[in-house]
Amino acid sequence: MPEPDVSCAIEIAAPPDTVYAIVSDLPGLPAWAAETTKVRWARGATRPEPGARFLGSNRNGFFRWVTVSEIEVAEPGRRLTWRVLGAARWEYRIEPTPDGCRVTESWWDLRGFLLKRILAPVLSGVGDRVSHNRANMTRTLERLKNAAENAQVAG
């Protein structure tokens, strides 16, 4: 697989399994993801496993859009990868550290020229998706860190 277009990482003081439980609870994603407002499973899926599909509602200011995604990799405690059909690939990679884990969020831009250069700015309000996603991914990882470390304290 080629290198991601954007990749951001953070150290989290929580075990990999705790972080994976949060990341893989896709209907809970809007609590900590920057643009996602709702996630619902599709085609009878109820959990992340290869081939499972879900719908994601997203918002950027007054721009709103829905995506269809399919889980590619679901390795508890280690990695969750999904493909946004016709648009992107997202991955959360979790690596144990002495104090918890390191989480790397990566994004690959899979859009074709027409969608990337002409339609996307009109549909989502974002012309420079790389810079936009880098900023959002940094916020998302900070929120994930907060959720995981608070879950660890509560647990």
Q: What mean pLDDT comes out for the span 47-55? A: 98
In a domain, 135, yes or no: yes
Q: What is the pLDDT of residue 61?
A: 84
What is the residue type of 57? S
Instruction: Give 108-134 pLDDT, tens digit per residue.
Output: 988 765 555 555 555 555 566 678 779
Structural domains in the chain (count):
1
In a domain, 142, yes or no: yes
Q: Give me the CATH number covering residue 35.
A: 3.30.530.20
Q: Is the pLDDT of residue 13 over 80?
A: yes
Range of the domain at 115: 6-154
Euclidean distance between CA atoms 12 and 49, whole angstroms: 24
Q: What mean pLDDT comes out for the span 18-35? A: 95
Q: What is the mean pLDDT of the chain?
A: 90
- Give residues with Cβ within 8 angstroms of 33, minimum separation 6: 140, 143
- Give residues with Cβ within 8 angstroms of 151, minimum separation 6: 14, 18, 22
Q: What mean pLDDT comes out for the span 77-91? A: 96
Euclidean distance between CA atoms 151 and 149, whole angstroms: 5
Is residue 95 a contact partner of residue 11, using CB atoms and an 8 Å limit? no
Q: What is the pLDDT of residue 75?
A: 99
Q: Is the pLDDT of residue 47 over 90?
A: yes
What is the residue type of 142? E
Q: Is the pLDDT of residue 4 over 80?
A: yes
Q: Is the whole model's pTM more than 0.75, yes or no?
A: yes
The pLDDT-based confidence of 53 (bands split at 50, 70, 90) is: very high
Q: What is the DSSP code (8-state) at residue 132?
A: H
In the numeric block, the tokens 């959002």 are attached to 136
In a domain, 40, yes or no: yes
Q: What is the DSSP code (8-state) at residue 47?
A: S
In a domain, 1, yes or no: no
The pLDDT-based confidence of 152 (bands split at 50, 70, 90) is: low
